[in-house]
A = this chain, B = another copy of it.
Amino acid sequence: MKTKVLWGKDLAQEVIQRVASQIKVLKTTVGRMPGLAVVLVGNDPPSQIYVSHKTRACERAGIRSLGHHLSSHTTMEEILYLIQRLNTQEEVDGILVQLPLPPHLNQSKILGSIDPNKDVDGFHPYNMGKLSLGEESIAPCTPKGVMALLDYYGIPVEGREVVVVGASNIVGKPLALMLVNRMATVTICHIMTKDLAIHTQRAEIVFTATGVPHLVKRDMVREGAIIVDIGISRKQGKIVGDADFQGLQGWARAITPVPGGVGPMTVAMLMENTLQAFRMRARTR
């Protein structure tokens, strides 16, 4: 079996271009371009890289990015005050707080303080709840990007047996909810799952988001399975995913590469979400 590589890079470019052309039209009626506030606390190097990817995507999409780089000693009061200001600031349509935050900050309280209409990461309880209820509003970028990738490659999930490995708030749980909402039969596995392989071997599509390098190997999935690799970690200085990409060649029907698969889709969905927030605000004025 020849394994199809599900690239996200080109699709992500397409999405960003589509967002850009929609913004071009919309900004003439609104009278300004959309604005995305990007809040970065501290000096975590991967976070700095992610933020620079997002800022570059904004340029291509025609979104004004407003960087707020705060010291790692920033207090809760200071960050909540900043978010309150961004919530009311007219030219700010989206607010993104880059995760992870330094451990002294209450992440849940910070994310919950963002105006749900400006919550372009989709992590506010209100938006997460809308997703749970199958009434997707602004949805988290990574799972949304995964669904867009599947749609692009014509991979339906309805009625299919799928397994999600990893149950985080930002990927695993919202992804599982999206899959249930689309009527897949979904199993959610995680660190406490006794025998991961019996689940992954059953799945027609395996979604993996653990950050454990090469966790998903050939002997863990059935022949012809589709592997969506949402993991990202470093191994000997190289960026690798959760799946053993080489070992799955000729065995899996399709696989997303890391890098170049789901990653770029996440950034593209952030642009889509910012456009969505811009449009919602334009409508309610």
Interface residues of A (CB under 8 A from B): 108, 123-135, 158-159, 161, 167, 169, 173-174, 176-177, 180, 183-194, 199
Contacts and interface: CB of A to CB of B under 8 A. Distances in A.
Given A159-B193, A180-B173, A192-B183, A132 B135 contact: no
Contacts of A159: 192-194
Residue picked from A123, A177, A187, most chain B C-beta under 10 Å: A187
29 contacts: A108-B133, A108-B135, A123-B133, A125-B125, A125-B127, A125-B129, A125-B135, A126-B126, A128-B128, A128-B129, A129-B129, A129-B132, A133-B169, A133-B173, A134-B169, A158-B192, A159-B192, A167-B180, A176-B188, A180-B190, A183-B190, A183-B191, A183-B192, A184-B192, A185-B187, A185-B189, A185-B192, A185-B194, A188-B188
Contact of A124 (B129, B180, B193): B129
B187 A186 contact: yes
Contacts of A128: 128-129, 132-133
Contacts of A167: 180
A63 to B, nearest CB: 26
Number of copies: 2
Which 9 A-B pairs rank lowest in CB-CB distance, beginning with the nearest? A129-B129, A125-B129, A128-B129, A183-B192, A187-B187, A159-B192, A185-B193, A128-B132, A125-B130
A123 B135 CA distance: 13
Nearest to A157: B192
Q: Please report whether the interface of chain A is mostly helix, strand, loop or mixed according to DSSP.
A: mixed
A130 B129 contact: yes
Contacts of A183: 190-192
A172 to B, nearest CB: 8
A132 B169 contact: yes
A131 B133 contact: no
Contacts of A184: 192
Given A132-B177, A185-B190, A186-B188, 14 more contacts: A108-B133, A126-B126, A127-B129, A129-B132, A133-B173, A159-B192, A159-B193, A183-B191, A185-B192, A185-B194, A186-B187, A187-B187, A187-B188, A188-B188
A190 B179 CA distance: 12
Given A128-B132, A129-B125, A180 B185 contact: no
Nearest to A172: B180
A168 to B, nearest CB: 10
A125 B138 CA distance: 13
Contacts of A192: 158-159, 183-185
A83 to B, nearest CB: 17
B194 A161 contact: yes
Contacts of A133: 108, 123, 125, 128, 169, 173
